[in-house]
Structure 1
Amino acid sequence: MMLRLLTLWVIALFLLPPAYGQLPGAPQNVQATIESETTSPAPGDTVTVAIIMDPKPGWHDYWLNPGDAGTPLELEWTLPEGVSAGPIRAPVPETLVVGGFMNHIYRQKHAFLVDIKLPPKLQPSKQIDLKVDARWSACSDLVCVPEGGSFVIPLKIGDGRIDADQRSRFDMWRAALPVPLDRQAQYKINGKVISVAIPFPENADAQSIWFFPQTENVFRYAAKQSARRSGDWLVVSGEIDTQFTGRIDGVLRFGDAQGLIVRATPGMVPQGGNALSVLGEKTGETGGSTPGNLFWILGLSILGGLLLNLMPCVFPILGLKAIAIAKSGGNEREARLDAVAYTTGIILSCLALGGAMLTLRAAGEEIGWAFQLQDPNVIFLLLLLMTAITANLAGLFDIGTIGAGDSLTRKKGVAGSFWTGVLAAVVATPCTGPFMAAAMGAALLLPVGQALLIFAGLGFGLALPFLAIAFIPPLRAHMPKAGPWMENFRRWMAVPMALTAAALLWLLAQLVGGAGWVIGGVSVAVLIAALFITTRKKAHNFAILGLASLIAITGIFAITRLEPPKTGSLTASKSGNVPFSVEKLAAFRADHRPVFLYFTADWCVTCKVNEAAAIDREETKAAFKKAAIVTMVGDYTRRDPAITRFLAQNGRSGVPLYLYYPAKGEPQILPQILTEDMMLELAK
């Protein structure tokens, strides 16, 4: 029955829509503006529009083919009848390698140009609006944030005059575009090597060569390129990604960001010639991480998952595993099957949660790690699940016994371990422990496959202690043997589970208001009564599942009918605390006032432990007041894109995050486990 309950909960977890929409965001990391070369075009004119992108220092956006990672600029036009928009014309990009993956990017201010064709029958003095919705990725070397904007260009049909300053400005943008090559290039594939021969005068200077393929999935982007000159041909060689026989489009970059638009078809490629330098050999632009850095990030993820076992949020699940280990006794095969099943459950859950987060972020949602705990529907289902587990451990209802001498079938044992792993992963997501934060932040930048590897590493680290116990006999020999103590231990484990359920009930009330106490409390009471009565009457498991499902559906229906409260947790409104705002933080910094900024959530157990042990203590408050330190709090209990972006800028995908801004100097990131002494040290 518990297995079916958990199955229902997992399905609902990933299929339920978010309860609430997004909140207003913070300033963009790649600021976008739009301009028209003329605001008074003549009928039938072609008007050039510039989407101007201005990345902040340390940030970048992407070329038309972003390479191994990232997303390019996407435009969705809403134009008057008869008006049409041409393709995006992009400046010559540069390269960036992160984790062994090639990115085609822009670090400096640049403009994408689009030609808008007007119909010749437009009447003079007619007012028309060009509207466009734009989306792009803004990335640093550690994190990526989806950004976007809606723009309107009002035009008044006139004589087509272009102001001299504006023409000069647009000529500057046009100069950054690659020039179409008047002759066709040729390419040849030999095994894994692809060589593109590009017509290029023998006496023309050519160094710092790189071929940016616009045709996708032909070149292996991160592979090293080589270049040589053979007479009036410039040959660039790289590694093929997939077999290809059609036309290849791309941009040849050379010299100081000069470029040629290349179209290549299969043909002869000249042999021999003199070697030329490729981009990065002299300019160093092909910087960033090496493939080995991916393994370093993976190592951080595994270590972060391992340390999650020390976090308070995972303690109740460790108790369940302790029972399972003792139950296996000295049976080596059973212990190993149990550990593998437990590990599989954890890893698959981490992959599912990570994949869902990456999918939603790619769709434009500003979310971070543990995003599902910002949805009251998920919290309600978790509350019912924890209530059922608590009641089972306390003996209020029973599906089989785990007493001494009991022997579950292999199928049931493996299934139980698998779902315990699923539960462990989900319960652990509110925590962001040491080492884990950097790995999760880096995962947002990597391609999907490599990002999922990082999430799998997190799950492997979380399961590692039990794998070690199962596969290392000396460790298993020190584990307690099965016996009558297990029944008492099971009863005691109902206590932390009950506390977890109580915390979820409180969190539900924070998310939906006072009605959450009523809906959650009544649902818990009905569920316990239903489980007690149906199991005592030896009802079929499907009947029990049906009752539990009815309770869950009724509760979710009631929750979705509620309006979210205007204020969430009281954390940010405590006396002396300032709610997080990018603008307020900037103002305090401008006034040279020291600021202690921390991000928390009502569902983050680690956050609450730190607040009770270090932040909210009277000694800390008195010291901060004496030192005139402003305490600013970002409450991440409910989804907040502004906080998500700020966390991403600091290499985080979830809470907690603690920052101290001195009156003068650079901010410092504090450890994720705080002590009172650390807080008092800041005030000295």
Structure 2
Amino acid sequence: MTCSTILKRLLCSCLVVVGVALPAQILDEPDFLPVDEAYPTEVELTEDGQVLARWVMPEGYYLYRHSLNLVGKDGTTLGDVLIPNGIPKTDEFFGDVEVYYNFLEISAPVLSQTTADVAFDVHFQGCADAGLCYPPEAQAFRLTKSGSGFGTGGVSSLSLDGPGLASSVESSSTPGGLSIWVALGSALLAGMILNLMPCVFPILSIKALAMLQGASEANQVSHSLAYLGGVVGTFLALALLLLALRAFGAAIGWGFQLQSPGFVAAMALLFFLMSANMLGAIEIPGFGVSMSQPNPFLTGVLAVIVATPCTVPFMAAAIGYAITQGGLGLVFVMTAMGAGMAIPYVVITATPQLARILPRPGAWMVTLKRIMAVPLILTVVWLVWVLTRQVGGAGVAWSIGAMIVLSLAVFIGRRQVKWLASVWALMLLVIAGTAYAVSVPISSRNATQLSEFEYEAFQKALDVRKPLFVNVTADWCLTCLANERTTLSRTSVREALSDHGVEYLKVDWTNRDAEITKLLESHGRYGVPTYVLYPQQAEPVLLPQVLTPALVNEYLVDYVSSGDTFSIGPQTNAGR
């Protein structure tokens, strides 16, 4: 039996295990209620000035004591919150906690207020015994005095179940309503499509070189298995980290690590080292990216890391299901996505007929290696540019300084002036590229934007049901930038939006922002790009992650009537 036959059978076995060896509690998943039905929040302001919040919960749903709070705002100051004792429970994520079933009421006194209204936020988080945990909620309320007592007035919700957003949760594909089979199929397809996204191109160049090395069939098979292990292992590590952080209340989503300037800087240094390596300037034995033989496991790890800025069709449903289900459901879904990303390379190396199509190695590969370094250099420029958007010029200074120290450290070990000159030439190229990128601010290429993401203003805009096109984006998302350059910045698209009376709102998720994360989650999305069209008399509509001018115009014609007008504030950049 050949190595390729063994590999094919192993791959098929893995896919069978993913589909068949699922526990009954995952396959026969219950139908979970939307958060507004599971935890309907009622508020009241009593005669003696006490703010009350109460919940009547269906059977099998509970709230956490540690998540409960009443917080005054807009001139309202509340006292200590009175919370009754709960039922002790050992929780999978939080350990020993107190929870509440069926009914709960909490209260806090109004100490002072600067207006006639009492404005406050109600914080809570709950789970279902059947296995679903909802993200932390923050609902905003404003109560006004009515006659001898108080009543609710001008209620404005910031949560997923607030007015205007509740309908959008149902119209988007909610993870809790997915079948495990649909989630696994979506994950597998999303992983395959990731290979076509621009964020993965730098790693594809390394993988292509490895496939052209002309190694024996046995080596090719072992390399493919190592690459598969790197991809799947990293998907699982990222997913488990994401789940753990969210369990502790962090409002994060897909691509969260790129919202950390420290991580972006580290990736810039790594790709700087790799590009110098591909150019033949350095060789670091054991580092895993040597000029002669790229390490397949490390290549798989890097492929996933650079893929996280991208979201693709089918990913939203799969990631949403994985995050909300947790446990084994998360493991199976993320394994399927990693397998989907690695399958094309595994199939090629396991099929001799396909492998023979590849050109034979020779002297021409030296030139090819130099050419393949270009995507890596551009990746360094892009990462340093992202740093400038996150932390300003200090990010560039620290990154360039680190590159200088790194090059000097290797130079001291090798003492080759020619090598040092080539590395510094590469560094100057990075500086020049970054300077050019910074000199062309992306905001100049976009249509109307909002000063900052203010949830209340956004909610009021939804309440009046005027047409709105929302673009949730980030500077580290290459798909977002490509869509803005090729579609959203086009004069024809701006004119189409204007002709249909649609305002364009850009929401920037480059840096971590809990409110923007809630907006994404309200549509069942956990990453960017996310495009939502709010027609005047219909439910919100999610657009695909890859846009074209014709596609945007088609959605406008199908869902928006012409002649509507809309305005919700000053026009600069949202979420900065």
**Shared fold per TM-score greater than 0.5:** yes
Gaps of 5+ in 1: 1-27, 42-48, 65-70, 91-103, 117-131, 152-164, 167-287, 539-568
Q: Which has the higher strand share?
A: 1
Q: CA deviation at 1:639?
A: 0.4
Residue aligning to 2:229? 344
**Residue number in structure 2 paired with 1:427:** 306
> SS at 1:445's partner residue?
helix
- Contact 2:126/2:133 (8 A) holds in 1: no
Q: Assess if the C-alpha contact under 8 Å between 1:147 and 1:364 holds in 2.
A: no
Are the aligned partners of 2:212 and 2:361 in contact in 1 as well (CA < 8 Å)?
A: yes
Asked if structure 2 preserves the Cα contact closer than 8 Å seen for 1:32 and 1:51, the reply is yes
Q: 2:516 aligns with which of 643, 650, 655?
A: 643
1:298: Cα distance to partner?
A: 1.2
Distance 1:635 1:114, change over 3 A: closer
Aligned to 1:521: 400
CA–CA distance in structure 1, aligned partners of residues 370 and 486 of structure 2: 29
**Does residue 613 in structure 1 map to residue 486 in structure 2?**
yes
Residue 296 of structure 1 corresponds to 182
Structure 1 equivalent of residue 3 of structure 2:
none
Mapped pair 1:111 → 2:113: no
1:477 corresponds to: 356
Deviation at 1:407, TM superposition (A): 7.8
CA contact (8 A) 1:440 1:653 kept: yes
Q: Deviations over 1:635-672 (max 9, x none)?
A: 11000111111111111111011111123212211111
Amino acid of the structure 1 residue aligned with 2:104: F
Distance 1:607 1:673 in 2: 8
- C-alpha displacement at 1:583, in angstroms? 3.0
Which residue number in structure 2 is paired with residue 382 of structure 1? Answer: 267
CA 1:661 to 1:138, structure 2 compared with 1: closer, same or farther past 3 Å? farther
1:512 is aligned to 391
1:327-406 matched pairs, under 5 angstroms = 327-329=213-215, 331-399=216-284
Query: C-alpha offsets along residues 582-613 of structure 1, whole Å, 9 cap, x if unaligned?
Result: 33333334444321111110000011111111
1:627 corresponds to 2:500: yes
Distance 1:115 1:633, change over 3 A: closer
Rounded Cα–Cα distance in structure 2 between residues aligned with 1:640 and 1:449: 29
- The equivalences for 1:244-259 within 5 A come to none
Q: Residue 458 in 1 paired to residue 346 in 2? A: no
Deviations 1:464-488 (A, max 9, x none): 1111112222222222222222211
Closer/same/farther in 2, CA of residues 532 and 485 from structure 1, 3 Å limit: farther
Q: How much has 1:619 moved relative to structure 2?
A: 1.9
* Change in 2 beyond 3 A, CA 1:572/1:137: farther
Aligned-pair CA distance for 1:683: 4.7
**Conserved? CA contact 1:443–1:454, under 8 Å:** yes
Corresponding position of 2:380: 501
Q: Distance in 1 between matches of 2:135 and 2:67?
A: 17
> C-alpha distance in 1, partners of 2:195/2:45?
57
Q: Distance in 2 between matches of 1:338 and 1:366?
A: 37
Letter in 1 for 2:531: Y
One-letter amino acid matched to 1:86:
N
Residues 383-419 of structure 1 deviation map (CA, whole Å, 9 limit, x = unaligned):
1001000111112222479xxxx986xxxx7xx1101
Q: Is the 8 A contact 1:51 1:111 kept in 2?
A: no
Give the 3 Å change call, closer, same or farther, for CA 653–407 of structure 1 in structure 2.
closer
* Aligned mates of 2:362, 2:524 — CA distance in 1: 48
Structure having the larger proportion of residues in helix: 2
Change (3 A) 1:77 1:323: closer
Pick from 98, 117, 136 the counterpart of residue 146 of structure 1. 136
Q: 1:134 to 1:631 in 2, by over 3 A?
A: closer
Change (3 A) 1:62 1:50: farther
Aligned match of 1:137 in 105, 123, 126?
A: 126
Once superposed, what is the RMSD of the aligned Cα atoms? Answer: 4.2
Change (3 A) 1:600 1:115: closer
Q: Which has the higher contact order (CA 8 A, sep 6+)?
A: 2
CA separation of 1:527/1:618 partners in 2, compared to 1, >3 Å: closer, same or farther? Answer: farther
Q: CA deviation at 1:449?
A: 2.3
Distance 1:631 1:572, change over 3 A: farther
Worse overlay, 604-613 or 452-461: 452-461
- The within-5 A match list for 1:205-284 is none
The 8 Å contact of residues 50 and 112 in structure 1, kept in 2 or not, is answered as: no
SS of residue matched to 2:135: strand
Gaps of at least 5 residues in structure 2 are: 1-34, 71-78, 90-98, 109-120, 142-148, 151-173, 418-440, 558-576
Structure 2 counterpart of 1:576: 448
Shift of 1:39: 6.9
Separation in 2 of the partners of 1:636 and 1:572?
Answer: 18
Asked which structure has the greater CA Rg, the reply is 1
Deviations 1:314-351 (A, max 9, x none): 0110110111111143x111011101101111111111
Q: Aligned partners of 1:361 and 1:528: how far apart in 2?
A: 38
